Structure 1
Amino acid sequence: MVAKIRTLDERGSGRAEVWRENEQGNQKKIKLTIPQTLPGEEVRVGVGQRAKRRWRTFPEEIITAHEERVEAPCPHFDRCGGCVWQHWQYSGQLKAKTNHVKKAIEAQGFNSDLVSDTIGMDEPWHYRNKMEFTFSPEGELGLHEQGNFRKVISLETCLIAGKEMVEAAMDVAEWAKEYELKGYNKDLHEGLLRHLMVRQSFVTGEMMLGIFATESPDGPLKEAADNLVKRVEEKIPQVKSLLWLENRDWADRTQSENTHLLSGRDFIYDEMDGYRFRLWFDTFFQTNPTQAQKLVDIAVELAKPKETEKMIDLFCGVGTFSLPFASKVGKLAGIEIVESSIESAKRNASDNGISNTTFLAENARTGIDKMLESFGHPELLLLDPPRSGAGGKVMRRIGRAKPERIVYVSCNPDTFATDIKELEPFGYELKTVQPVDLFPQTVHVEVVAELVLREGNN
């Protein structure tokens, strides 16, 4: 059956519609989701006799190829769900991301001409400084299969992770095989090894390895754990933190009930914009440091901070934006609901000799109220919420606080657009939207935007 790709869905897969005759001889329209395709392509696909109205299938043949189609360089591309756009020329990816942002703000009534072209990377490979790999029940290490969360693809390489990180992951995979350590079975809830987290600073070179397992490294596993320590110290000297993290919870997340330090410290040092940060296994930090630096630079450029001003950094995390801005404003207050992140932000400020910051562990909406009482009215507010966005209540609270300028950093153009719509009744005007590609070869894109309070609305 031949299908023509009309558009792409939110996961980067092609969408098409075909008509076919069902068992009763009636024509039936089937909506197809076809990964690894591009808009306008004609592809040959197989569709089962009992196809549902929505059917997922892979292309058997590309009949008419998009002019920007390229050969995917990764040997795992056909099966791995890690990066779904390797078959698309990078310039085409950037255009698609710009269009995504334009459509998102147009849908909320904003002028798409405010959106600049997406800033890409000179080298859009090996950019990630953190990866979370999964062990299969057989003990193989890899990433999840595209469209199948329960299937793990054993990896030989990963072209979006740092090269030294991939080599370290392969060493750990070899160690697990030598000791015949079983992986975790999500269906039966049994097995030992669940995940391997690898993170590395591209500035300091320091690396962290975290083994997530269902048992302690003591007792029967002590010999294997001791061998892992010896192996890492001999072969991967850049590892400054080797952790064994017990996780018996049914939820398939990289969390720890009991953390064992096998070697080194329980954190590594990283740097951004000249500031030093301590990163623990659960610390959120931008995974593309090259583009994250551009985010900071753009945010500062748009914000135009002044030494006489007060600033609030909402969803501040460990201070990624707080520290660079603190040196440019009079006083800065950071608000973040995760207490461990706030403790890290305080420590990071102290490590860098920054003394004009205040950090509060509180949810965003009530945190703003408390901070306004103790800190005073801010001329500048920056927010960098999670993918789900800040939400209407938080945005309206920001609107009522009436900072002169707002810089919104977002990893989700759709929730960004709905959020800033909430600011219009309070007199805010959207001035600039700058997309930045932090995730080449994937559908994701970040934006940095500037909003200004119109005169007469103070």
Structure 2
Amino acid sequence: MAVSFDPAGYEQQLAAKRERLTELLAPFSAPEPAVFASPREHFRLRAEFRLWYQDGQPHYAMFEPGNNRQPILIEQLPIASRRINELMMPLLEACKADPELGRKLFQVEFLTTLSGEALVTLCYHRPIDEQWDQAARKLAEQLNILLIGRSRGRRRVLERDHVLEELQVDGRTWRYQQVEGGFTQPNGLVNQHMLSWALEAAGHNTDDLLELYCGNGNFTLPLSTRFRRVLATELSKSSVRSALENIADNQVENVTLVRLASEEVTQALTGVREFRRLQGIDLSGYRFGTVFVDPPRAGLDPGTLELVKGYNRILYISCNPETLAANIAELQASHRITRCALFDQFPYTHHMEAGVLLERRT
């Protein structure tokens, strides 16, 4: 999808998002939101391009929503990280020069990090085999990248299928395994702001944290320093694998991770159902004072809403302020907003991330 790139109008766009969030939260007497701006360019750590062929030559292409017949041919993408822009044309030229790399190549995906790593996935409309490996290894060495090849039913990983990110939060460096194709926050610098805000909002606690939708442990790791223990849950198998690696790599010892959907967590904590995946975990031994949620765009389902009402504090990160407001409307009888924030993960679009801390009314 093409994105309008307008650095000169950035402050006006950000002000409009702030006004929109303020209006959405006004019925709940929310305080003024803290606003965390994005860099105006080179902020996006991921990018995906289709290839469009003219006169037999490939070009990177993006498309307006709903129109896959009118490509916008590009050589650089100002919103993408500097590393992606450095790699785009040398990679394409190498694929044009070597038929083993370029034949029936239809898509290129970039995943980069603040720590400087880059993983590139080349997608083909043909089988790839050991001959591709040989050509790809030369390219990976030449460009100093990690490289993966994909074709129908096949994936060829030359070295590893993930990058290692490093994020600075509250004076500490956290290392994260980010897997190809898995969900990661696309704007690394704003993600650091999100993590720092969440830590400040959480404060220092002597009780425990329940985290739903933990993903690869993005918030789990820093938040573990602010609670006695953390019970984190996630449904995606690949995210759980990455989270476990990240917990071990960062030597975090007070987090227990369970693969459960949010609805299953509700059933387990309310005693409606027992799960084999919870064997050996004494839920009654936890003293949860805070619940942290970072749900999908649809927000919290009715069962999870009822669950979170039972906690003194609800720390909520949202990628959809409309469903956030709808959820708060269901919580306002028991909780009030004491902090809120706007995180501009997606400049030049209408999308934004928001954070609120809700505390039980006394």
Q: Which bracket does the TM-score occupy, shorter chain normalised?
A: 0.7 to 0.9
- Give the corresponding residue for 1:412: 320
- Give the corresponding residue for 1:378: 288
- Give the corresponding residue for 1:134: 50
Letter in 1 for 2:111: R
Letter in 2 for 1:275: W
Aligned residue for 1:369, secondary structure, equals helix
- Residues 270 and 276, structure 1, Cα contact 8 Å, conserved in 2: yes
Question: 1:407 Cα deviation (Å)?
Answer: 0.8
Letter in 2 for 1:384: D
In structure 1, C-alpha distance between the alignment counterparts of 2:325 and 2:80, rounded to whole Å = 30
Letter in 1 for 2:107: H
Out of 185, 190, 197, the position equivalent to 1:286 is 185
Out of 69, 77, 102, the position equivalent to 2:22 is 102
Render the CA deviation track for 1:379-416: whole Å, top value 9, x for unaligned: 011111122222333212222xx111111111111111
Out of 230, 237, 247, the position equivalent to 1:349 is 247
Change in Cα spacing, 1:322 to 1:116, as seen in structure 2 (3 Å) is same
In structure 1, C-alpha distance between the alignment counterparts of 2:265 and 2:69, rounded to whole Å = 39
Question: 1:137 Cα deviation (Å)?
Answer: 5.5
Out of 179, 190, 210, the position equivalent to 2:121 is 210
Change in Cα spacing, 1:359 to 1:368, as seen in structure 2 (3 Å) is farther
Letter in 2 for 1:332: V
Q: Which runs of 5+ in 2 are unaligned?
A: 272-281
Out of 135, 159, 169, the position equivalent to 1:264 is 159
- Give the corresponding residue for 2:195: 296
Aligned residue for 2:36, secondary structure, equals coil
Residues 1:454 and 2:361 aligned together: yes
Q: Which runs of 5+ in 1 are unaligned?
A: 1-80, 184-190, 249-256
Out of 325, 330, 342, the position equivalent to 1:422 is 330
Aligned residue for 1:442, secondary structure, equals coil
Q: Structure 1 vs Structure 2: percent identity of aligned residues? A: 25
Name whichever of 92-101 and 172-181 sits farther off.
172-181
Question: 1:110 Cα deviation (Å)?
Answer: 2.3
Question: 1:84 Cα deviation (Å)?
Answer: 2.3
Q: Which has the higher helix share?
A: 2
- Give the corresponding residue for 1:34: none
Tell me the TM-score normalised to structure 2 length.
0.87
In structure 2, C-alpha distance between the alignment counterparts of 1:334 and 1:244, rounded to whole Å = 33
Out of 19, 33, 39, the position equivalent to 1:116 is 33
Letter in 1 for 2:28: F
Which is higher, the Rg of structure 1 or of structure 2? 1
Name whichever of 442-451 and 385-394 sits farther off.
385-394
- Give the corresponding residue for 1:47: none
- Give the corresponding residue for 1:193: 105
- Residues 181 and 192, structure 1, Cα contact 8 Å, conserved in 2: no
Question: 1:181 Cα deviation (Å)?
Answer: 8.6
Aligned positions of 1:19-58 closer than 5 A = none
Letter in 1 for 2:82: K
- Give the corresponding residue for 1:160: 79
- Give the corresponding residue for 2:278: none
Paired residues, number? 343
Render the CA deviation track for 1:273-295: whole Å, top value 9, x for unaligned: 31111111022221111111110
- Residues 333 and 357, structure 1, Cα contact 8 Å, conserved in 2: yes
Tell me the TM-score normalised to structure 1 length.
0.70
